[in-house]
Amino acid sequence: MVIVASTRPGRLGPAIADWFVQATLPAAAAGGVTLDVADLADMGLPLLDEPEHPSSGIYVHEHTRAWSRRVAAADAFVVVTPEYNYGMPAALKNAFDFLYHEWAWKPVGFVSYGNTSAGTRSVQMTKQVVTTLKMMPIGATVALRIADSTHNGQVLQSAGLDEAGRRMLLELTRVASAMRPLRTAPDSDPTSVSGPVEGLTLTTAQPGDLAELLVLQRCCWVQEALANDTLDLPPLTETLDDLRESMSTWQLWCVRRHGRLVAAVRARARESAWLIGRLMVAPDQAGNGIGSWLLAYAEERAPEETERYELFTGHRSTRNIKLYERAGYALTYADGIPDGSVHLTKQRQSTAGAR
């Protein structure tokens, strides 16, 4: 993501961002890198107006959700920033403050511009902020003195400047690749667990997991769509916003193997029942016992007052039904069962050691 930090009329930011994109486009194409320009003037973020702390990932405004989606999708950042009174533009600080987890464990480079210092003092201030957000400033930078590098609002052609931009992109790409394991292993109470296969890490889902979780969900439910002869299944039609909203009512857990998301499940209490849903295992990891193990983990998270476990699956999902029956569930009947689904329950034998 190339962030245009200035929002003032007559700014040079868009022209400098355009230069960076054009100068690095061949290298980006060769490396499979997509450049997404995010102009803060176009984003229109107000002064931080979210009632919850950004680390909660609970956003009530659509402008925040839209910004969250774009930042979460990025693997690295280039900040195109001027210098205002020895510091960064207020719009840039505000854009950082809106989010938290979406920034973490990603590298950031800077293209600065200004007069005497070529914007470098703005970069130094910004580095203090981004490191607090667990971002990694890289060594390569580009600093443009306005009088030397621009004319009539455009960046002057310069092979040396183009090469500096290219080197920054290559360094960002390398560092982003090296930091990927950190981005795919959330820092919220990670628990290395002894599971049916080696290398499993179980965590509570965080906002930064949701895009990857949605992809895994759709991969897993393709088989359910084929088995039940329908694409009208909530896991296939759920959006990223729907999934984000579910975090306010469900507890979600993710399982990673060597950093890769391979399984997930969610649960919530309803009166005396503990509802377990969206149990999924990556197709290439199925058959290793991860599903049964994760189901047992979800059951153990039930509150002490839980009397029974409940879940649903497709009426033609014979493999799922057999898994649940082996775990002690029985087909039952209840009001409000979605069309094409079956309801399974299991009585809780004891609350000893439930948590």
Q: Which domains does the chain have, with CATH numbers?
A: 2-183 (3.40.50.360), 191-347 (3.40.630.30)
Please give the chain's pLDDT, 355 residues, in tens.
Answer: 999 999 999 999 999 999 999 999 999 999 889 999 999 999 999 999 999 889 888 888 999 989 998 998 899 999 999 999 999 999 999 999 999 989 999 999 999 999 989 999 999 999 999 999 999 999 999 999 999 999 999 999 999 999 999 999 999 999 999 998 787 654 444 455 667 888 888 888 888 788 889 999 988 888 777 876 777 777 888 888 888 888 889 999 999 887 789 999 999 999 899 999 999 999 999 888 999 999 999 999 999 899 999 998 877 777 888 889 999 999 886 555 556 678 899 999 864 444 3
| pLDDT at res. 227 | 72
Q: Taking a C-beta distance cutoff of 8 angstroms, is the pair 268, 258 a contact? A: no
Q: Which helix (H) or strand (E) holds 276?
A: strand 273-281
- By CB neighbour count within 10 A (0-12 exposed, 13-18 middle, 19+ buried), where does 268 fall? middle
C-beta of residue 31 within 8 angstroms of C-beta of residue 171: no
**pLDDT for the residue numbered 181:** 79
Those residues whose C-beta lies under 8 Å from the C-beta of residue 180, and which sit 6 or more positions away, are 75, 259
Per-residue CA distances from 74 to 136, 208, 323 (Å): 14, 11, 38
Element (H, E) at 267: strand 260-270
pLDDT computed for residue 337 by the predictor: 59
Interior/surface letters 7-34, b for 16+ CB within 10 angstroms, e for the rest: beeebbbbbbbbbbbebbeebbeeeebe
Q: Return the DSSP state at 102.
A: G
Cα 2 off chain centre by = 18
pLDDT of residue 351: 45
Share in percent of the chain as helix, strand, coil (round to 5):
40, 25, 35
Place of tokens 């399984």: 263
Residue 124's Cβ-side half-sphere holds a number of Cα atoms within 13 Å equal to 8
Q: What is the DSSP letter of 112?
A: E
CB neighbours of residue 173 within 10 Å = 18
Count the alpha carbons within 13 Å of 230 in the hemisphere toward its beta carbon. Answer: 13
Instruction: Give Cα separations from 70 to 12, 36, 103, 192, 330 (angstroms).
Output: 23, 9, 11, 30, 43
